[in-house]
């Protein structure tokens, strides 16, 4: 796959948007306007507050120093971890995203180390090894085939040191699949400025609609990962232990209020 810089202004899902179930399509979903608008509205300070030091603690408990942020996006976690003293390398398959991450880093006084790479061929472009790989912000869901998911996890595994760990989060798709897209509540980011809601769902696709205050609308087509399916894939590629947290708490798996998202911590050792 060549490294390309797609910068179209409009998303294009073709004539039948729910038919778009292609891993490569993420490049065309993160168009310039969407990335810019998102970053302008999502308040990094609020995000800092809502996450607290959850990821920082997980990494520190494991003695991690070198972190590979494989879904850098606009750079939120890379910057956060650099400011906590970690040595971070920021990876993303989208040039649009990495450019924005670099710009955001500079504005905060950091020069991000960036590598444009698709996860499926990560080790072609990333040659060092890391104490931790983080794949956050519901990113793994962009992979539409099981082959791509296995290949990606194997590439993450290979870039970790012998006792390294992978931290990967995902939306709670079990709730959306089991109760239907329409029953799932809207998520509002940044007050009521941005809303995200599943518009269509089946076992192979969750199509989300993002609405902005100026009435502009964008979509992302994602694969609805069931919690236990993600865990089993991680174990099958070689991770020895997988601990899953629900909304930043250890997940007991018992019934109760449905969590919004899960965080898996997979240990290589």
What whole-number distance in Å separates Cα of residue 262 and Cα of residue 226?
Answer: 10
What whole-number distance in Å separates Cα of residue 116 and Cα of residue 100?
Answer: 13
The rounded Cα 185 to chain-centroid distance in angstroms is 20
Rank residues 71 and 88 by Cβ distance to ligand SAM and give the closer one: 71
- Does 156 sit near ligand SAM (CB under 6 A)? no
Query: How does DSSP classify residue 108?
Result: T
Rank residues 114 and 244 by Cβ distance to ligand SAM and give the closer one: 114
- Does 78 sit near ligand SAM (CB under 6 A)? no
Give the shortest CB-256-to-ligand SAM separation in angstroms: 26
Residue of the chain from 11, 64, 68, 76 that contacts ligand SAM (CB under 6 A)? 76
Q: Are 221 and 215 in contact (CB under 8 A)?
A: no
What whole-number distance in Å separates Cα of residue 21 and Cα of residue 6?
Answer: 19
Give the shortest CB-26-to-ligand SAM separation in angstroms: 4
Count the neighbouring beta carbons within 10 Å of the beta carbon of residue 225.
24
- Does 142 sit near ligand SAM (CB under 6 A)? yes
Rank residues 79 and 181 by Cβ distance to ligand SAM and give the closer one: 79
Rank residues 89 and 97 by Cβ distance to ligand SAM and give the closer one: 97
- Does 94 sit near ligand SAM (CB under 6 A)? yes
Residue of the chain from 31, 67, 68, 71 that contacts ligand SAM (CB under 6 A)? 71
What whole-number distance in Å separates Cα of residue 225 and Cα of residue 216?
Answer: 27
Q: What are phi and psi of 132, to 5 degrees?
A: -150, 145
Going by their DSSP bridges, the two strands 87-92 and 113-116 should be labelled as parallel
Tokens found for residue 49: 């507050």
Residue of the chain from 92, 99, 105, 156 that contacts ligand SAM (CB under 6 A)? 92
Contacts of ligand SAM in 17-36 (CB under 6 A): 23, 26, 30
- Does 139 sit near ligand SAM (CB under 6 A)? yes
Q: Which residues 6+ apart lie within 8 Å of 4 measured at CB? A: 27, 95
Rank residues 119 and 245 by Cβ distance to ligand SAM and give the closer one: 119
Give the shortest CB-46-to-ligand SAM separation in angstroms: 13
- Does 138 sit near ligand SAM (CB under 6 A)? yes
Residue nearest to ligand SAM (CB): 137
Tally the C-alpha atoms within 13 A of residue 98's C-alpha that lie toward its C-beta: 21
What whole-number distance in Å separates Cα of residue 219 and Cα of residue 212?
Answer: 12
Which one of 90-98, 106-114, 199-207, 250-258 is the stretch in contact with ligand SAM (CB under 6 A)? 90-98
Residue of the chain from 79, 136, 153, 165 that contacts ligand SAM (CB under 6 A)? 136
Class of residue 247 by CB neighbours under 10 A (exposed 0-12, middle 13-18, buried 19+): middle
- Return residues touching ligand SAM (CB under 6 A): 23, 26, 30, 71, 73-74, 76-77, 92-94, 97, 118-120, 136-139, 142
């Amino acid at each position: 796959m060549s490294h390309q810089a797609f910068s179209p202004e409009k998303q294009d899902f073709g004539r039948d948007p729910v038919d778009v179930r292609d891993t490569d399509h993420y490049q065309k979903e993160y168009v310039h306007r969407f990335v810019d608008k998102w970053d302008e509205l999502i308040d990094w300070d609020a995000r800092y507050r809502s996450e607290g030091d959850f990821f920082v603690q997980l990494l520190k408990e494991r003695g991690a120093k070198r972190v590979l942020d494989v879904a850098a996006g606009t750079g939120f976690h890379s910057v956060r971890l650099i400011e906590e003293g970690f040595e971070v390398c920021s990876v993303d398959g989208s040039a649009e995203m990495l450019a924005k991450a670099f710009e955001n880093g500079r504005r905060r006084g950091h020069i991000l180390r960036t590598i444009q790479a698709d996860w499926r061929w990560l080790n072609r472009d990333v040659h060092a090894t890391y104490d931790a790989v983080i794949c956050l912000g519901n990113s793994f869901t962009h992979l539409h085939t099981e082959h791509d998911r296995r290949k990606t996890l194997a590439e993450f595994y290979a870039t970790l040191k012998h006792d390294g760990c992978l931290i990967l989060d995902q939306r709670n798709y079990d709730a959306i699949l089991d109760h239907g897209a329409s029953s799932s509540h809207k998520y509002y980011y940044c007050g009521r400025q941005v809303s995200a809601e599943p518009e269509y769902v089946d076992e192979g696709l969750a199509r989300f609609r993002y609405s902005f205050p100026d009435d502009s609308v964008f979509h992302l087509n994602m694969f609805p990962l069931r919690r236990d399916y993600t865990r089993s894939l991680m174990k099958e590629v070689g991770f020895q232990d997988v601990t899953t947290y629900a909304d930043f708490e250890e997940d007991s798996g018992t019934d109760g209020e449905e969590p919004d998202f899960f965080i898996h911590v997979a240990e290589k050792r």
